[in-house]
Amino acid sequence: MRRGLVEHARVRGARKRGGSRVRVSLEDTAELSASPSVDLSALDEALERLAAFDARQARLVELRFFGGMTQEEAARALGLSVATVKREWALARTWLRRELEGDESVTST
């Protein structure tokens, strides 16, 4: 699902000749996944960097953001406790926020 959404965003951005990039807030995944203004390309790149650093956190973000899973569902899918998923989710969100906000090409609208 992630690859399909990212590819769709890239195609749409190419049609717009670059389109505008926006900052991504990972506070509420339901709101984000419904938002057409999320720069999925920048998020995908940040997730690739996170996967190199911590593959489990990257997988958790995929499940929560792209898969729409709750913390409980993600915990079952990953074979982890809900408490561990909550900690990992908080760390991953913070890491991604820093990566995306630190990207000079990411701007707010």
63 closest CA partner among 41, 83, 42, 88 = 88
For residue 79, what are the domain limits? 2-102
Residues whose CB falls within 8 Å of the CB of residue 91, separated by 6 or more in sequence, listed in order: 54, 57
Q: Does residue 107 fall inside a structural domain?
A: no
CATH number of the domain encompassing residue 76: 1.10.10.10
Residue 75 has pLDDT above 80, yes or no: yes
79 closest CA partner among 66, 90, 88 = 88
- What confidence score (pLDDT) does residue 84 get? 97
DSSP annotation of 27 reads S
Band of pLDDT at residue 40, cut at 50, 70 and 90: confident
Alpha-carbon distance 13 to 33, whole Å?
17
- What confidence score (pLDDT) does residue 37 get? 57
Q: Does residue 109 fall inside a structural domain?
A: no
Both tokens assigned to 19? 């389109």
Q: Does residue 108 fall inside a structural domain?
A: no
26 closest CA partner among 81, 95, 105 = 95
